[in-house]
Structure 1
Amino acid sequence: MSDSTLWWIVAAFFVSLELLSGSLYLLLLAIGAAAAALCALAGQSQDVQFIVAAVVGGGGVLFWHRQLLKRGPIDTEGYTTTGLDQLDVGEEVSVAGWGPDGTAQVVYRGSAWMARHHGPHVPKTGPHRIRAIESCYLVLEPL
């Protein structure tokens, strides 16, 4: 099996993981593997292929992570939702526990949702109210 085929398989693996998790970081790593596959097609050595994969994939991850750090936490104080998301605002959910990263997984409408805490206080378990929906996260405030 050629080097380029292996790199395309690695890229497809990262894309499939990204589809399961929704993490942009995995997509950036897949782009790095695709760049290495193109280097392999161009006849570059394996050392160059690994360097290109690391620089393109790792550089993309580093760039995106720094962009998120610059943005800082999203201000949800004046955040409002529109459309169908507005139906969920004000509904109650129960939080069994918070993760070390400040997120929790809650069951809402029969499926598991990721949730973030809203407010200055340390998040607690128990009943919470949906304050907003941010991407695929429910923004919760304690009752």
Structure 2
Amino acid sequence: MAESTLWWIVTGVLVALELATGTFYLLMLSLGAAASALAAHAGLSLMAQMVIGAVVALVAVGGCYQWRKRRPGDPSPRAERSVNLDVGETVQIERWNPDGTAVVRYRGAPWTAMHRPGQIPHSGPHRVVELVGSRLVVEPV
């Protein structure tokens, strides 16, 4: 069996494993195996095929890692309006406590509100952006 055929089989196995597990990094490794298969088609030695495959896989995994690191994370399910109907509602905050919380009347009961990190707390209308436990995370409207 030709070396290129073996590399294509390895590529197919890695793609199948990626489909079964959802690990995107296996897809990057399969790119390295495909590069090795192309190197085998070009008639390069086995050592050159392995080096080319390793370099392509390393660059692909590194690029994927950097891209995912820069990408903002998915929003918390607690901040989704479809999961929590309180998200998007407006509350009136009269004053903030020294610990960064406020007590607000919401749905006929007292709730503890806290401002979103990075926001400067001030009184007035605020929008609920997330629910953490029994606390409303709010930001100014």
In the alignment, residue 59 of structure 1 is paired with which amino acid? Answer: V
In the alignment, residue 53 of structure 1 is paired with which amino acid? Answer: G
TM-score for the superposition, normalised by structure 1 = 0.53
Q: Which digits, 9 at most, give the CA deviation of each residue in 1:64-113, with x for residues without a partner? A: 101212235344489547xxxx4xx24xxxxxxxxxxxxxxxxxxxxxxx
Equivalent position of 2:112 in the other structure: none
- Please give the alpha-carbon distance, in whole angstroms, between the structure 1 residues aligned to 2:4 and 2:39: 8
Equivalent position of 2:114 in the other structure: none
TM-score for the superposition, normalised by structure 2 = 0.54
Q: How does 1:21-36 map onto structure 2 within 5 Å?
A: 21-36=21-36
Rg larger for: 2
Distance change (3 Å), C-alpha of 1:79 and 1:52: farther
- Please give the alpha-carbon distance, in whole angstroms, between the structure 2 residues aligned to 1:74 and 1:60: 23
Equivalent position of 2:3 in the other structure: 3
Equivalent position of 1:51 in the other structure: 51
Provide the identity percentage: 40
Distance change (3 Å), C-alpha of 1:48 and 1:79: farther
Task: Name stretches of at least 5 consecutive residues in structure 1 with no aligned partner.
Answer: 91-119, 121-140
- For these two proteins, the number of residue pairs brought into alignment is 91
Computed over aligned residues only, the root mean square deviation of the Cα atoms, in angstroms, reads 3.2
After the TM superposition, which parts of structure 1 deviate over 6 Å for at least 4 consecutive aligned residues? none
1:15 aligned counterpart, secondary structure: helix
Equivalent position of 2:68 in the other structure: 68
